[in-house]
Amino acid sequence: MKEKLIDLFEYTFHFNSEMIKIIAENIENVDEKTISLINHTLNAQQIWNSRILKENSFEVWQINPFETLQEINRNNFKKSIEIVHHFDPDQKINYQNSRGANFENTVFEMLFQAINHSTYHRGQINSLLKKDGIDPILTDYIFYKR
Protein backbone atom coordinates (compact mmCIF):
# COMPACT_ATOMS: atom_id res chain seq x y z
CA MET A 1 0.00 0.00 0.00
CA LYS A 2 2.87 2.39 0.73
CA GLU A 3 4.08 2.22 -2.86
CA LYS A 4 0.59 3.10 -4.12
CA LEU A 5 0.31 6.06 -1.77
CA ILE A 6 3.74 7.30 -2.87
CA ASP A 7 2.64 7.00 -6.50
CA LEU A 8 -0.53 8.99 -5.78
CA PHE A 9 1.44 11.71 -3.99
CA GLU A 10 3.87 11.89 -6.92
CA TYR A 11 0.85 12.37 -9.20
CA THR A 12 -0.57 15.02 -6.87
CA PHE A 13 2.76 16.84 -6.65
CA HIS A 14 3.23 16.77 -10.42
CA PHE A 15 -0.18 18.20 -11.31
CA ASN A 16 -0.21 20.73 -8.48
CA SER A 17 3.09 21.95 -9.93
CA GLU A 18 1.65 22.07 -13.45
CA MET A 19 -1.37 24.05 -12.18
CA ILE A 20 0.91 26.56 -10.48
CA LYS A 21 2.89 26.92 -13.73
CA ILE A 22 -0.13 27.49 -15.95
CA ILE A 23 -1.53 30.03 -13.50
CA ALA A 24 1.84 31.81 -13.37
CA GLU A 25 2.04 31.90 -17.18
CA ASN A 26 -1.43 33.48 -17.33
CA ILE A 27 -1.48 35.40 -14.06
CA GLU A 28 -2.87 38.56 -15.68
CA ASN A 29 -5.90 36.61 -16.98
CA VAL A 30 -6.84 34.46 -13.99
CA ASP A 31 -9.43 35.57 -11.47
CA GLU A 32 -9.17 35.71 -7.69
CA LYS A 33 -11.13 32.47 -7.31
CA THR A 34 -8.41 30.58 -9.21
CA ILE A 35 -5.73 32.02 -6.93
CA SER A 36 -7.84 31.20 -3.90
CA LEU A 37 -8.40 27.60 -5.03
CA ILE A 38 -4.75 26.81 -5.79
CA ASN A 39 -3.82 28.18 -2.37
CA HIS A 40 -6.62 26.23 -0.71
CA THR A 41 -5.52 23.03 -2.48
CA LEU A 42 -1.97 23.37 -1.16
CA ASN A 43 -3.10 24.56 2.26
CA ALA A 44 -5.35 21.54 2.72
CA GLN A 45 -2.54 19.06 2.07
CA GLN A 46 -0.32 20.97 4.49
CA ILE A 47 -3.11 20.88 7.09
CA TRP A 48 -3.67 17.13 6.76
CA ASN A 49 0.08 16.51 7.03
CA SER A 50 0.30 18.74 10.09
CA ARG A 51 -2.58 16.95 11.80
CA ILE A 52 -0.74 13.67 11.46
CA LEU A 53 2.66 15.12 12.41
CA LYS A 54 1.21 17.30 15.21
CA GLU A 55 2.74 20.44 13.68
CA ASN A 56 1.42 23.96 13.20
CA SER A 57 -0.78 24.34 10.16
CA PHE A 58 -1.85 26.90 7.62
CA GLU A 59 -5.31 28.39 7.63
CA VAL A 60 -7.72 26.69 5.24
CA TRP A 61 -8.23 29.71 2.96
CA GLN A 62 -5.03 31.68 3.57
CA ILE A 63 -3.48 33.29 0.51
CA ASN A 64 0.25 32.66 0.31
CA PRO A 65 2.66 34.77 -1.74
CA PHE A 66 2.38 33.33 -5.24
CA GLU A 67 6.14 32.91 -5.56
CA THR A 68 6.08 30.48 -2.58
CA LEU A 69 3.50 28.07 -4.02
CA GLN A 70 6.00 25.73 -5.70
CA GLU A 71 8.00 25.53 -2.47
CA ILE A 72 4.84 24.82 -0.46
CA ASN A 73 3.97 22.08 -2.96
CA ARG A 74 7.47 20.54 -2.60
CA ASN A 75 7.29 20.70 1.20
CA ASN A 76 3.84 19.12 1.18
CA PHE A 77 5.13 16.29 -1.00
CA LYS A 78 8.15 15.67 1.23
CA LYS A 79 6.03 15.64 4.38
CA SER A 80 3.42 13.33 2.85
CA ILE A 81 6.13 10.88 1.79
CA GLU A 82 7.70 11.09 5.25
CA ILE A 83 4.32 10.15 6.73
CA VAL A 84 3.90 7.23 4.33
CA HIS A 85 7.32 5.87 5.33
CA HIS A 86 7.05 6.40 9.09
CA PHE A 87 3.41 5.90 10.06
CA ASP A 88 1.22 2.83 10.11
CA PRO A 89 -1.63 3.55 7.65
CA ASP A 90 -4.10 2.04 10.14
CA GLN A 91 -2.94 4.23 13.03
CA LYS A 92 -5.73 6.42 14.33
CA ILE A 93 -5.05 10.12 14.76
CA ASN A 94 -7.09 12.49 16.92
CA TYR A 95 -7.28 16.03 15.59
CA GLN A 96 -9.43 19.14 15.46
CA ASN A 97 -10.88 20.50 12.26
CA SER A 98 -10.71 24.19 11.37
CA ARG A 99 -13.87 24.84 13.41
CA GLY A 100 -12.45 23.20 16.53
CA ALA A 101 -14.48 19.97 16.39
CA ASN A 102 -12.66 16.79 17.44
CA PHE A 103 -12.34 13.84 15.08
CA GLU A 104 -10.43 10.61 14.71
CA ASN A 105 -9.36 9.04 11.41
CA THR A 106 -6.67 6.64 10.25
CA VAL A 107 -3.49 7.91 8.65
CA PHE A 108 -4.60 6.29 5.39
CA GLU A 109 -7.97 8.07 5.45
CA MET A 110 -6.29 11.40 6.11
CA LEU A 111 -3.71 10.92 3.36
CA PHE A 112 -6.32 9.77 0.88
CA GLN A 113 -8.42 12.82 1.75
CA ALA A 114 -5.47 15.07 0.88
CA ILE A 115 -5.03 13.33 -2.49
CA ASN A 116 -8.72 13.26 -3.37
CA HIS A 117 -9.29 16.85 -2.25
CA SER A 118 -6.52 18.16 -4.49
CA THR A 119 -7.88 16.24 -7.48
CA TYR A 120 -11.31 17.77 -6.91
CA HIS A 121 -9.98 21.32 -6.75
CA ARG A 122 -7.70 20.92 -9.77
CA GLY A 123 -10.87 20.11 -11.71
CA GLN A 124 -12.46 23.32 -10.44
CA ILE A 125 -9.35 25.29 -11.36
CA ASN A 126 -9.40 23.82 -14.86
CA SER A 127 -13.02 24.96 -15.26
CA LEU A 128 -12.07 28.47 -14.18
CA LEU A 129 -9.08 28.54 -16.53
CA LYS A 130 -11.32 27.52 -19.43
CA LYS A 131 -13.83 30.23 -18.49
CA ASP A 132 -10.97 32.74 -18.56
CA GLY A 133 -9.93 31.63 -22.07
CA ILE A 134 -6.95 29.56 -20.93
CA ASP A 135 -6.54 26.00 -22.20
CA PRO A 136 -6.96 23.67 -19.22
CA ILE A 137 -4.44 20.90 -18.64
CA LEU A 138 -5.27 17.21 -18.63
CA THR A 139 -4.81 16.09 -15.04
CA ASP A 140 -6.36 12.63 -15.18
CA TYR A 141 -4.32 10.00 -13.37
CA ILE A 142 -4.31 7.70 -16.40
CA PHE A 143 -2.69 10.41 -18.56
CA TYR A 144 -0.02 10.81 -15.89
CA LYS A 145 0.71 7.08 -16.01
CA ARG A 146 0.95 6.84 -19.82
Please state the three-class secondary structure of the chain as a single string: CHHHHHHHHHHHHHHHHHHHHHHHHCCCCCCHHHHHHHHHHHHHHHHHHHHHHCCCCCCCCCCCCHHHHHHHHHHHHHHHHHHHHHCCCCCEEEEECCCCCEEEEEHHHHHHHHHHHHHHHHHHHHHHHHHCCCCCCCCCHHHHHC
Q: Is 121 annotated as a binding residue?
A: yes
Full-model pTM: 0.96
Can you give the residue range of the structural domain that contains 35?
Answer: 2-145
Look up the CATH number of the domain holding residue 90: 1.20.120.450
Residues of the chain falling short of pLDDT 50: none
Count how many domains the chain has. Answer: 1
Q: Looking at residue 131, what is its pLDDT?
A: 96
pLDDT (0 to 100) of residue 1: 87
